Every structure is written in structure tokens, then in C-alpha cells.
Structure 1
Amino acid sequence: MCTPHFEIQNGVLAKCMMSGEENVTVTIPDGVTSIGKDTFFDCGLLQSITIPDSVISIGNKAFARCTALENITIPNGVINIGNYVFAGCNSLQSINVSEGNSNYLSCGGVLFDKSKSVLIKYPDGKKDTSYIITDGVTSIGDFAFMYCITLKSITIPNSVTSVGCDAFRWCVLLESIIIPESVTSIGDGAFMYCESLQSITIPETLQAMRSR
């Protein structure tokens, strides 16, 4: 059995080290206030984690490439979630949020801001082939659907005005998408490596679209 070893400095969980061949369940100690950048990066053994309410911040790439992680719950205290936090978590089917959190919420396992106007992250490991973004969402966040390799169809409502950088990057099965006329900006690399994308409808109202 593997026992994780934590490196904690001034309330920041800087690193979690583990070894062995079995998948691991980790409980972060109460009193930790921040999960640092890259803390669990590439921890392929991490299957389940419990985050205490004392945590207020989750750093960039904190759980990136945790390929065995199946679900996660963001506790009440978290007020900031960094970039690429769940990138490459290809078993992650649900990002849940405690009901008392004042900054984030989850709907169908998809992470939103509390007002449900920003779609922050669709879990990489969800098996659905289509997804309808709910009306009222105004922004599709940076990296929101990145690495969602099962999605073939995504419906964007007329309430959306912006699509973030790398929003659909590596959606390799995405076949077609219609950008509504409400959208005025699309970020860098939004459709990069969408290898199956055969058609994309761009509105005349679009003011900025970058590519790389």
C-alpha cells in the first residue's frame, strides 16, 4: 500500500509524492490553505482526493495529467482555481462543487463560476459525444473543452459573447460547430488540433479571432 508524503510550507501544499503500483486515495490535511502549482502533476496513481474546506486556492496544473483521477469535489473555501488544473485528466468524469461555495458551482459535473455565466471546465473523461451549453452562459473559458476527445458536437447558445484561448484544442472528434452571432471574440488556438472538424460557421459580427 502506498502512503503519500506531503511537503507543506506556510500552509501551501507544495508537493505530494507517492510510489507503488496501486491507485491511491489522498486526503489533504486540514489547515492547508493552498494547493500549489504542479503539486500533483503527472501523479498517475491518484484516483481519489479529499480537499479540506481550509483550501482557498488551487494552483496552475495542480492535478494536470492525473490520468486515474475519476472525480473531484471543490470545497466551500476555494475562491481561486488556476489554469490547466485538470488538463490531461482523461479519466475525470465529474468536477463537483460543495453547495456552500460562493465562487463556483457544478452542473452535470461541468465546472462553472457561481453565476453560471462562465463555463470553466468540461471534464476530459466524460463519455458523452454531444453537449449543449446552457442558455445564459456568456463566456466559454480558456481551455474549457481542451482534451475532450469524445465530443463530436457542441451547441453554443446565443448568450455566449466570447470563446477563450484553446477552448476546443485537441477535441479530435469534433466534426462541426456553429458560432452564434452573439460571439464577438475567439481566443488563440481555440480549434487547434480539431482533426475531424469539417465545418465551422463564423458570424459576420466577429470582431477578433486569433490563431496559432
Structure 2
Amino acid sequence: IDLYKRIPTEAGLGGGSSDAAAVLRALNNYFNQKVEPLELTAMAAHIGSDVPLFLAEKPVRVRGRGEIIESLDFELPVFWGILVHPGIGVSTPHAYAALDAVPNRQPGTSTERLLSRLCDKKEIPINISELLATGLSNDFEPVVLTTYPDIAKAHEIIVSAGALRTLLCGSGSAIFGLARDLQHTNQLVDILTVNFSSIMIVSSSYPDAFNIKQI
């Protein structure tokens, strides 16, 4: 297997896990779907906690350590944004250890509220960005931003550039900036190219693919 990496490592983007899921699916296709979906998901969970997620072909809610996958009945309109890699990596095990060490940590409720609105198809606006901006959250963010000043500075710069919502990706280090539309995305890129050498324009195009353009 020849692997050409486009997703940065130690960035919180699930690059390794998505590669593992892709190999599982490719092997199953090669052998004429001999492994049933539930068994394939169990195999994926044995490889890594977030590998099962990347076997899904529609939006899902993930629970447990990543092995409990619940399909959600909605399709998102297209939305745009930027991904910035600040030039350093974050060790996933270290990030989880730091999160576990936070005393009296309570899970946020904004994500559940957002999913509830998305599952009610009447609540999904044509321009999805404003709705996503109010509901996206990441428990890793305060922990990682406190530990890594360079990532915190990058986060601050993207906020100042005018992104609708700026959020750490997974356990870091990549940062996502949500835009109103493609024009706003290009404006963010114009502002941020002074500060960052690695910026990607990203858009959802579900169910076809997730488009990435390196700047």
C-alpha cells in the first residue's frame, strides 16, 4: 500500500484514523464485501477509538470511546471555512491526559442542542454557517490553548480576522475558522496569509466528499 499523506499529523484531524478506515473499506471491497458492516465497525474499533467514525457515509453521533456510532437523519447544506496548521503538533495521549486531569469537568450541552436542531429538518437554514457558529464546541480547547501558547496565539489571530467561529480541531493542533460563504473564506485567507504558511480552504460537499484546497 502506497500512502500519500495530505492531512497533517498530530493536528486533531483524524488523518491516521481515516487512513485506517479507508484501508479496511478497500480490503472489504476487494474481497467482495465478505465482512458485514457491524463486524467491520468492531474491527475498526479494535484498531483505534475514532476509526469507526470514518466508516460512516453520513452524519453520525459518536459515543463511548468512539465505538458507538449513531447515524443522524439530516444532510448539511454546503459550508465554507479555513484550516490553519500552526506549525507544531499536539500529542493525542498527552491531550487526553490533560483533559482527564481537569477537576469537576462537565460535558457541554451546546453540541446536543445543535444536533437536535439539525435533526429537525425545519430548523436547517440555507446558510448553515450561522447555526453552526452558535453550537460548535470542543472540550479540548481550553486545555490545549493553555498548554500551547503558539496555538493560542494562532486561535486569537483567526478570531481577530473575523471568522464566524474559531475552534480547535479535535485534540489539536489545527484550527478551523468558519466562514459565511466562499467570498468570506477568501477574505480570511487574504488576511491570514501574512501570519501562516499553511492555510487550507475547506468546504463540505456531503455526500460526495470533503473538499480541501491548499493555499
Q: Structure 2 length normalisation: TM-score? A: 0.26
Q: Which one scores higher on RCO, CA 8 angstroms, separation ≥ 6?
A: 2
Q: Which has more helix, going by share of residues?
A: 2
Query: TM-score by structure 1 length?
Result: 0.26
Higher-strand-fraction structure: 1
